[in-house]
Structure 1
Amino acid sequence: MSATLNAGRTRAALRTSARVSAELLLVLLAAAVVLWLLGRMWPVVWPLVVGLLLTTLTWPPTRFLRRRGLAPAVAASLVTVLSLLVAAGTVALIAVPVASESGRLGDGVVEGVQKLREWAAGPPLNIDDAQIADAFDTATSRLQDSAGSIATTAVTGVSTVFSGVVTAVLALFLMFFFLKDGPRFLPWLRRQLPGRLATDVPVVVERCWLTLGSFVRSQALVGLIDAVLIGLGLWILDVPLVLPLAVLTFVSAFVPIIGALFAGLVAVLIALVSNGLMDALLVLVIIVVVQQLEGNVFQPMIQSRGLGLHAAVVLLAVTLGGSLAGIVGSLLAVPVAALIAVVWNYLREQLTDPPAEPAADGSPT
């Protein structure tokens, strides 16, 4: 009798495991189909995502203007124009000082190349001018042989830049319409959905919206910390163009990995051509230390607190997103993880049984 009972339990456990495995496979298949559809629709999805992120950043001033009695279209137009002016001012803040220092930087580059040749000619390398000339000729011939691939890369780069401009324009128009008509979306959505979905879906959408806003604010705070710390180090070392480099550091913080590498490379090169090798190495050390603090301390702490995610989850999400989709995956990994957590928490709230209420006589119901 006991053996028969154990065999029955074993078969029931196997059936349960098989059913759960089949359901999990169906969920994974549905996720794969959704990801495939997103990939096919990416030229439309990417401007929509960028527009939503920009809207979370510009909605507070729009809401302030609307509460002061401005019409939605007027408030959205003012904020959109102001955003364009801020973006143009940021570019000018970087470009104008760089243009004014271009002569000094050019002289520094020439002087740096000359110092590099003098250093290579001495011990322990002992490379003479003839060897340098041969190396230059070899490099020139290789460039000529690979002219076709270079041209292809240049065309690809131009196409990428053009695609980026189109994405930015579409995202800007979408941001305007989101700012103008955003508050109407949830009432419209409630009218379109049947039954309980008319209650559940708007609540989840509203929570996701608040989570996206928290992500953008936390990312801006991380970029501000990077800009202040790196700018302070550059100012102490008397590196030129401190303010443009600090602004570049802040802006590049919104582009994971590549943004930090680009801003750090620019700062090190300017320190090299203006202050010399030792200051360039010190700038490199400062940037590496700040970036390590950002990636391992500031960003996980700030984002985990603002998004309700553990710091380890933030780190794992960025790593997984980068391995799956590169730079875009790293950029979207944290907000996607936060949105998944929002949906999961809401489902858990709805599926959790409410606590039992005591009866009138004091005994549990």
Structure 2
Amino acid sequence: MSSPLSSTKTAAALRTSARVSAELLLILVAAAVALWVLGRMWSVVWPLIVGLFLTTLTWPLARFLRRHGWWPALAASVVTVFALLVGAGIVALIAVPVADQSGELADRVVAGIDKLREWAAGPPLNIGDDQITGALDTATDRLQDSVGSVVTTAVTGVSTVVNGVVTAVLALFLMFFFLKDGPRFLPWLTRQLPGRLATDIPEVASRSWATLGAFVRSQAFVGLLDAVFIGLGLWILGVPLVLPLAVLTFVCAFVPIVGALFAGFVAVVIALVSNGPMDALLVLGIIVVVQQLEGNVFQPMIQSRGLGLHAAVVLLAVTLGGSLAGVVGSLLAVPVAAVLAVVWNYLREQLVEEPREPEPEDLPEGSPAPS
């Protein structure tokens, strides 16, 4: 027969479970409140995050200039203007080719739709032109009925563009001040905090900054390699919009896994519409080869120490971030997960018990005493 349960141990286990559950609930409530406050302050927080990302990319150049005798303000000004020129050049690389080739691409899209209609009219689908025309008429009627929502969407788009410009301007100003006064931040923070916090928070901030900088710079370099190789393949195959697609590949590299899939999908669709299915398959093959080289050769070489995150954690973080905050969430998911890992590792270091040296009375007889 099995022994009866101990009422004392059962009650103690229930009390422990209740206490742990209450503590977890308090942590979740605190996290929810922090996220709510973050959402209310997002108009300020988002430019701050973008400014930090830009600073991690441009800090090596600013540090190089400062080490060679440049004044901090002058070095920060030169690097900020350089970053602004690079950003304007990237926008021009996207906008000008799209504007030049938009008419040709639209014609090829129409031709592709006509081919699709011809294919749908034959076996095995055997969809008649009257059915296709009826579907198009229905779609047109729905579009006309939703003119108000289309206008609202257009107004929202204009508002989004204005907010994007304001965010970019604020991020550039913040980047300038970070580049100019960044090295003085941690000493200032140490003087402002009391007791143990004066050591812990600056240390966590320093580690988080190093991790964030390693992530952003390595992703930028890997994205540049992807853009060069994929863009070269698209150029050899004669796919239109090579420069915009290459720039899109570079930008999407900052969203691990999901960004590469999205950029590859866009490139394959453009190749399918413009050059046909054979070139689309070739483009798909080029993208797969480049992604394999990135995952197995480029990234292990560049991210020698890595972020300490498993690929499954990265994928889950990107998925969760995208479901919570869309594109912005996908972009910030991996850096946030990496910073949380840094915080957890530091807390674990502080909570690990130091090995206790044995006292003399604990040693066997005849053993030498510890020095």
Q: What amino acid is aligned across from residue 185 of structure 2 in structure 1? A: F
Contact 1:208-1:342 within 8 A present in 2 as well: yes
Partner of 2:319: 319
Tell me how far 1:240 sits from its aligned partner: 3.5
Tell me how far 1:35 sits from its aligned partner: 1.2
1:11 equivalent in alignment to 2:17 = no
1:363 equivalent in alignment to 2:355 = no
Tell me how far 1:131 sits from its aligned partner: 5.9
Contact 1:190-1:198 within 8 A present in 2 as well: yes
Q: Which moved more, 1:212-221 or 1:300-309?
A: 300-309
Question: Could you report, residue by residue, the CA deviation over 1:20-78 in whole angstroms, capped at 9, with x for unpaired residues?
Answer: 22222211211111111111111111111111111111111011111111111111111
Partner of 1:218: 218
Point out where structure 1 has 5 or more consecutive residues left out of the alignment. none
Question: Could you report, residue by residue, the CA deviation over 1:69-121 in whole angstroms, capped at 9, with x for unpaired residues?
Answer: 11111111111100011111222233344444456445544544554555556
Tell me how far 1:237 sits from its aligned partner: 2.6
* Number of residue-to-residue matches in the alignment: 363
Work out the CA distance in 2 between the residues paired with 1:156 and 1:24: 39
Q: What amino acid is aligned across from residue 31 of structure 1 in structure 2? A: A
Normalized against structure 1, the TM-score is what?
Answer: 0.84
Work out the CA distance in 2 between the residues paired with 1:45 and 1:165: 15
C-alpha change, 1:319 and 1:133, in structure 2 (3 Å) is: closer
1:81 equivalent in alignment to 2:81 = yes
Partner of 1:350: 350
1:46 equivalent in alignment to 2:52 = no
C-alpha change, 1:358 and 1:130, in structure 2 (3 Å) is: closer
Partner of 2:276: 276
Work out the CA distance in 1 between the residues paired with 2:22 and 2:135: 62
Q: What amino acid is aligned across from residue 363 of structure 1 in structure 2? A: A
C-alpha change, 1:100 and 1:9, in structure 2 (3 Å) is: closer
Contact 1:300-1:311 within 8 A present in 2 as well: no
Q: What amino acid is aligned across from residue 144 of structure 2 in structure 1? A: Q
Work out the CA distance in 1 between the residues paired with 2:298 and 2:156: 36
Contact 2:258-2:318 within 8 A present in 1 as well: no
Work out the CA distance in 1 between the residues paired with 2:131 and 2:311: 53
2:354 is paired with a residue whose SS is: coil
Q: Which moved more, 1:129-138 or 1:87-96?
A: 129-138
Partner of 2:334: 334
Work out the CA distance in 1 between the residues paired with 2:14 and 2:370: 37
CA RMSD in angstroms comes to: 3.5
Tell me how far 1:186 sits from its aligned partner: 0.7
Partner of 1:249: 249
Partner of 2:306: 306
Q: Map 1:161-176 to 2 at 5 A.
A: 161-176=161-176
Question: Could you report, residue by residue, the CA deviation over 1:287-329 in whole angstroms, capped at 9, with x for unpaired residues?
Answer: 5776698799987997794212223322222223233333222
Point out where structure 2 has 5 or more consecutive residues left out of the alignment. 361-366
Contact 1:240-1:270 within 8 A present in 2 as well: yes
Partner of 2:193: 193
Q: What amino acid is aligned across from residue 68 of structure 2 in structure 1? A: R
Q: Which moved more, 1:14-23 or 1:276-285?
A: 276-285
2:306 is paired with a residue whose SS is: helix
Question: Could you report, residue by residue, the CA deviation over 1:174-197 in whole angstroms, capped at 9, with x for unpaired residues?
Answer: 111111111111111111111121
